[in-house]
Structure 1
Amino acid sequence: MIPRALTPAAFAARAAGADSQSFAGETMGTSWSLHAVSAPPDSGAGVQAALDLVVAQMSQWEPDSDLSRFNRAPAGEWCAVPAEFAHVIAAAVDLAEASGGAFDPCLGDLTERWGFGSAQSVGAVAADAFLVQGAIELDRSATRIRRSEGARLDLSGIAKGYGADLAAEWLLGQGVRHFLMEVGGELRGEGIRPDGQPWWVDIEMPPTSSIPSWRLALHDLSVATSGNYRRGFTVDGQYYSHSFDPRTGRPIANGVSSVTVLHRSCMMADGWATALTVLGPDEAIALADAQQLAASMVVGDREISSREWRAMLT
């Protein structure tokens, strides 16, 4: 829903091993890091280029990005978009349908009105905040999109995960088979560490929870977390989360502190974590089971897991 630099998720990678190389940089208002085995010297530059491409196409903070230009285009007008942008839009549209509207890429106007968008005027609740009834349409054969009146794209609930995937695919194309790629807390692990171990990561739990942290092995697997305890604001004693329910146009208030999703695709892990956070405990876990998603949810001091999550950890 917002850039992962500002969302409540954090992961700590275990030591990568003496025979691996480390690279790091900044992107999307946050940082990225790479631990890779036998990586060429230009790996850092290649990863940065992949992430810069995502920013140039999909950032709502960059006025000249493809997304910003699309949001300024007249409603109903078809706009050609790059293939990467179209790929993310297709995934977002499919997620919106599969989640019953819990994931919505068209919340740009709503997040701006509540102060969580590019204007970043957080601290004053918009008295006229309203339910967005806009939609996005994708012509998949011609890689072009158009929007209805009131719809403005905000891909920050999925673009950071896609950035990790795009960088990972570039690395694989360069023959780098073993690495851990991280973008603002979203992680994708490929292959193994030099010591033969998988890439181990620790999941940070919400500070109010006494639940022990999970340690996960990312072997050709991605993980993403969404939640509501790091970014928000309080007015007159009322806390407003950055996470919105597209079906009501209001910040969520369902007791969910965080949701973690494991998936082959970091983009899909990112998007599903966003959607399940919105749905709340019962509906989210039922949908995760139906979609065969490995998902774990923290609600207060309880942890609720999907069947696939439990199966992967046994």
Structure 2
Amino acid sequence: MGTTWSARFVAPPGLDTAPVRAALVAELDGVIAAMSPWEPMSEISRFNRAPAGSWHTLSPPFFHVLQAGLALAEATGGAFDPAAGALVDLWGFGPAPARLAPPTPAQIEAARAAGGWRGIAIDPPARRARQPGGARLDLSGIAKGHAVDRLATRLAAIGHPHALVEIGGELRGGGVKPDGQPWWVAVEAPPGVAVPPIRVALHGLSIATSGDYRRWFDHDGRRHAHSIDPRTGRTVANGIASVTILHANCMTADALATALLVLGTDAALAYADAHDIAALIVERGDVGTTEHLSPAFAAMLG
């Protein structure tokens, strides 16, 4: 996934942690084998190369993540789109080489025409998905959170439910530390943005942040961040610096952070309010930075 991971857990003195690490690495290897577009023989890469009209039986984790992504795409009117891989590649934020200038409008429209979540049909009883022809799945906005959930679940299954798991800044905490305290973490703030520090207790809770500062390129005085609005095919430029989501599972938090960043402040707050989502939005403005807290997020802060 091109990032780092860590797992902290409460264990008895003298425990050999090598088997625990091996179990977690096996889970991560499974995520990569299914959902990494950088691996030519991964499930997602094989699907993306498949002929038009072909149906493919997917592994349970892959189908679970794809189905969740398609459901969020429908719920957000395409602000989140697991089939926007052609656009991601076109802008140089996927396996394709990085860009120094934006693609042309004609290239953007061609990439939009080639994919989109509406073209992906699924057959849940058979755990199948249909390649309409030329569609490219990209699960980078949801797979990292899924991987966090898998590590936390695996740790609990082998007897270590009191744990804090992190992959690339997405975290999930369960149980408590030896001193009885929950896993306290600081909410990630965009670089160079002056906002009051916020700490949250991850006790059966996950946190994910999406921002405009992770990957980008500058062209003609404008920053083109890696967040793409699948509805327009262009990089997001709505003033949002970051969106942080608190949720019981990290996969949902990860995907919602991406979707709300694309929606823009007003629509994102309305969506969060309507669906009882704990969201923190940091917005850059002409006269400074503004933090917006959804009612659910404010309630969690007490």
Matched residues in 2 for 1:206 and 1:214: separation? Answer: 13
1:129 matched to which residue of 2?
108
**Kept after mapping to 2: 8 A contact 1:89/1:138:** no
Unaligned runs of 5+ in 2: none
1:146, distance to aligned residue in structure 2 (A) = 1.2
Matched residues in 2 for 1:244 and 1:234: separation? Answer: 15
1:243, distance to aligned residue in structure 2 (A) = 0.4
Q: Where do residues 71-150 of structure 1 align in structure 2 (5 Å cutoff)?
A: 71-127=48-104, 128-130=107-109, 132-133=112-113, 134=115, 135-150=119-134
Task: Spell out structure 1 runs of 4+ moving beyond 3 A.
Answer: none
The correspondence for 1:192, drawn from 176, 185, 204, is 176
Letter in 2 for 1:85: F
Matched residues in 1 for 2:85 and 2:147: separation? Answer: 20
The correspondence for 1:223, drawn from 187, 207, 212, is 207
The correspondence for 2:225, drawn from 236, 241, 258, is 241
**Kept after mapping to 2: 8 A contact 1:205/1:212:** no
Normalized per residue, the structure richer in helix is 2
Q: Secondary structure at the match of 2:126?
A: coil
Matched residues in 2 for 1:123 and 1:163: separation? Answer: 31
Are residues 1:51 and 2:28 paired?
yes
1:307 matched to which residue of 2?
295
The correspondence for 1:297, drawn from 267, 277, 281, is 281
Matched residues in 2 for 1:181 and 1:34: separation? Answer: 4
**Kept after mapping to 2: 8 A contact 1:112/1:118:** yes
- Once the two structures are superposed, what CA deviation does each residue of 1:165-219 show, in whole Å capped at 9, x if it has no partner? 1111111111211000001111000000111000010122112321112111000
State, as a whole percentage, how many aligned pairs show the same letter.
Answer: 53
**Kept after mapping to 2: 8 A contact 1:86/1:143:** yes
1:173 matched to which residue of 2?
157
Q: Secondary structure at the match of 1:257?
A: strand
Q: Secondary structure at the match of 2:129?
A: strand
Letter in 2 for 1:194: P
Q: How many residue pairs end up in the alignment?
A: 287
Matched residues in 2 for 1:79 and 1:277: separation? Answer: 31
1:261 matched to which residue of 2?
245
Are residues 1:37 and 2:37 paired?
no
Unaligned runs of 5+ in 1: 1-27
Matched residues in 2 for 1:120 and 1:181: separation? Answer: 31
**Kept after mapping to 1: 8 A contact 2:48/2:134:** no
1:140, distance to aligned residue in structure 2 (A) = 0.7
Letter in 2 for 1:305: L
CA RMSD of aligned residues (A): 1.2
**Kept after mapping to 1: 8 A contact 2:190/2:213:** yes
152-161 vs 33-42, which moves further? 33-42
Letter in 2 for 1:225: T
1:119, distance to aligned residue in structure 2 (A) = 1.5
Q: Secondary structure at the match of 2:54?
A: coil
TM-score calculated relative to the size of structure 1 = 0.89
1:250 matched to which residue of 2?
234
Q: Secondary structure at the match of 2:125?
A: coil
1:114, distance to aligned residue in structure 2 (A) = 1.1
TM-score calculated relative to the size of structure 2 = 0.92
**Kept after mapping to 1: 8 A contact 2:49/2:134:** no
